[in-house]
Structure 1
């Protein structure tokens, strides 16, 4: 893991050239070697490091933006989505060139404020971890009203944002995905 200024780069030695490590050290970057741990993904190590960096700090306003987290190998994307689920108390946004994804924990009533100049209109809600016995939304072209969703049956994909505010309430954690305009 490389820490330089406010940026953190998580890598193990199998994916990072030794010359980069040496150059980073010479510039004063702190290098944390996590190459011994091959049982967790680089993103999971990075999020855990950020979480543990200041254990007494209120994390309610912490938001981690992960650029390049989508659009590559699907097994890596699935691993990144698993990190959202594993660290459900931290707001983590996975970003690609054309969409973003984040977790909506079941313990909250969510208000999503849409900035239509940079996001939308295509969106989706996908249950993760368990069946959503009941999901209710407002602000979508095809709103859900106490709708049951699960893999192998109903999931809300290819929906459209209709306004500047979306509300979501669900009995399970959901992935929120929305297109972005670059």
Structure 2
């Protein structure tokens, strides 16, 4: 994945094979604070480009190992930004050509952390001009701002998908799902598309208003 930064979030790495694939596919790798402990447990020989955060979670043993490998351990104590946000900002400053973030472990665990990750989908694209993909053990999630044609190969994704508005309401039209809709209004005060299923190799989504698209993997 050209010009892609892998951001490792502090969640258990359940599928190590998928993690290795993501590690190898990305150009650069950033680790959030306590996620360095997880990376250490998975494979202490893997060398990220940097570790960043308020550093209240990384253990002394982990920090000593990576500093010994020459990995920058960057302390950013500000409580007005999350470690996730700090990592993305640091990445675009280091690598101005960054086109995409793959946040591994960004969903799951604490609900407030997951809500922040979803909020970042729109904010990062608007403020940094970078696409954000949120990975969890069960799903891949990303923003569709206007229209998208999503490749859904059966060897990479499963059937279940959901489409939810991220700001106010949206009107969506879909093709390639078992329950396709046309100019269908969705909002958190009316109705949200969940438990839909893929029936084609491509899913097309047209929307008036940004939506979050999530697919089971």
- Counterpart in the other structure of 1:63: 100
Q: Secondary structure at the residue paired with 1:38?
A: coil
**Cα distance in 2 between the residues matched to 1:105 and 1:49:** 25
> Aligned-pair RMSD on alpha carbons?
1.9
Unaligned runs of 5+ in 1: none
How many angstroms apart in 2 are the aligned matches of 1:151 and 1:43? 26
Cα separation, 2, equivalents of 1:172 and 1:155: 14
Structure 2 segments unaligned to the other structure (5+ residues): 1-6, 9-26, 34-53
Number of aligned pairs? 170
Superposed, which structure 2 residues align to 1:1-182 within 5 Å?
6-11=28-33, 12-34=54-76, 36-55=77-96, 57=97, 59=98, 62-88=99-125, 89-106=129-146, 109-132=147-170, 134-180=171-217
Check the 8 A contact 1:69/1:96 in 2, yes or no.
yes
- SS state of the match for residue 124, structure 1? strand
What CA distance in whole angstroms lies between the structure 2 residues aligned with 1:10 and 1:45? Answer: 9
Secondary structure at the residue paired with 1:110?
Answer: strand
The Cα shift of 1:45 comes to 1.2
Per-residue displacement from partner, 1:11-68 (whole Å, max 9, x unpaired)? 221121233223212211112211x21122111111122122233x2x4xx2222111
With the length of structure 2 as denominator, give the TM-score of the two structures: 0.73
Q: Is the 8 A contact 1:124 1:158 kept in 2?
A: yes
Q: Is the 8 A contact 1:141 1:159 kept in 2?
A: yes
More helix by share: 2
Given that residues 123 and 161 in structure 1 are in contact (C-alpha distance below 8 angstroms), is that contact kept between their aligned partners in structure 2?
Answer: yes
| Cα distance in 2, alignment partners of residues 44 and 105 from structure 1 | 21
CA distance in 2, matches of 1:90, 1:164: 26
